């Protein structure tokens, strides 16, 4: 991405956020040569990602739909919408970096769970219950046990996320140690 002032090609991203109702990602950049700042919009339509659903159907990756599902899982957990949008940005960016333009819906679900793990255990369990199609209480207990036995593992991911989106530093984030009561599950 060339600097519009000096045409230099190297820059750093100061901030990434969802824009245009989730249809694009707005990035604030700073030129590494002249130091001036400019904004770019990255639109997903130009590099469509196909999602292969469980039943074999294919559909275009829909970030709004993904965000809605995550927001639903995070209701009343205190995790801010801007943090969730940043999460979807990260997941989308990861998918975009892949050479293959097709991804299984289960892979996307696992990416979401990896991210939710550090934000809210309640949201993690809720999202897992929908996406893994829990059949009964046993599934909740197994997932909860797995979550507790593996928590505190991926702190490096969180550091990267905060560097990429400094805007999220003022948001409320539940600690991983937040207890999950049976009533909430």
Residues lying near Zn ion in the complex (CB under 5 A): 3, 5-6, 8, 31, 33-34
Least Å distance, CB 1 to Zn ion, is: 11
Tally Cβ neighbours within 10 Å of residue 148: 12
Residue 126: half-sphere exposure toward Cβ, Cα within 13 Å: 20
β partners of residue 52: 58, 104
Least Å distance, CB 175 to Zn ion, is: 41
Residue 6 to residues 11, 13, 38, Cα–Cα distance (Å): 11, 17, 12
CB within 8 Å of 68: residues ≥ 6 apart: none
The residue written with tokens 């990756």 in the block is 61
Output 34 or 141, the one with its CB closest to Zn ion. Answer: 34
Least Å distance, CB 164 to Zn ion, is: 21
Output 35 or 166, the one with its CB closest to Zn ion. Answer: 35
The residue written with tokens 């905060």 in the block is 162
Least Å distance, CB 28 to Zn ion, is: 14
Least Å distance, CB 38 to Zn ion, is: 8
Least Å distance, CB 39 to Zn ion, is: 14
Output 15 or 158, the one with its CB closest to Zn ion. Answer: 15
Token pair recorded at residue 175: 């600690």
Output 15 or 30, the one with its CB closest to Zn ion. Answer: 30
CB contact at 8 A, 153 and 110: no
Residue 13 to residues 44, 106, 114, Cα–Cα distance (Å): 18, 30, 24
Query: Residue 98 has what DSSP assignment?
Result: S
Output 14 or 174, the one with its CB closest to Zn ion. Answer: 14
Output 6 or 137, the one with its CB closest to Zn ion. Answer: 6
């Amino acid at each position: 991405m060339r600097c519009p002032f000096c045409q230099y090609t190297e820059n750093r991203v100061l901030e990434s956020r969802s824009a245009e109702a989730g249809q694009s990602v707005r990035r604030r950049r700073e030129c590494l040569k002249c130091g001036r700042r400019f904004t770019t919009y990255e639109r997903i339509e130009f590099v469509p990602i196909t999602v292969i659903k469980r039943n074999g159907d294919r559909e275009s990756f829909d970030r709004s739909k993904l965000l809605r599902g995550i927001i639903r899982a995070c209701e009343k957990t205190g995790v801010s919408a801007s943090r969730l949008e940043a999460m979807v940005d990260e997941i989308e960016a990861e998918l975009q970096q892949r050479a293959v333009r097709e991804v299984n819906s289960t892979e996307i679900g696992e990416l979401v769970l990896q991210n939710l793990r550090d934000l809210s255990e309640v949201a993690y369990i809720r999202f897992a219950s929908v996406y893994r199609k829990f059949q009964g209480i046993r599934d909740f207990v197994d997932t909860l046990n797995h979550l507790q036995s593996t928590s505190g593992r991926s702190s490096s991911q969180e550091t990267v996320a905060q560097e990429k989106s400094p805007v999220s530093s003022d948001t409320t984030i539940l600690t991983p140690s937040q207890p999950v009561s049976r009533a909430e599950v």
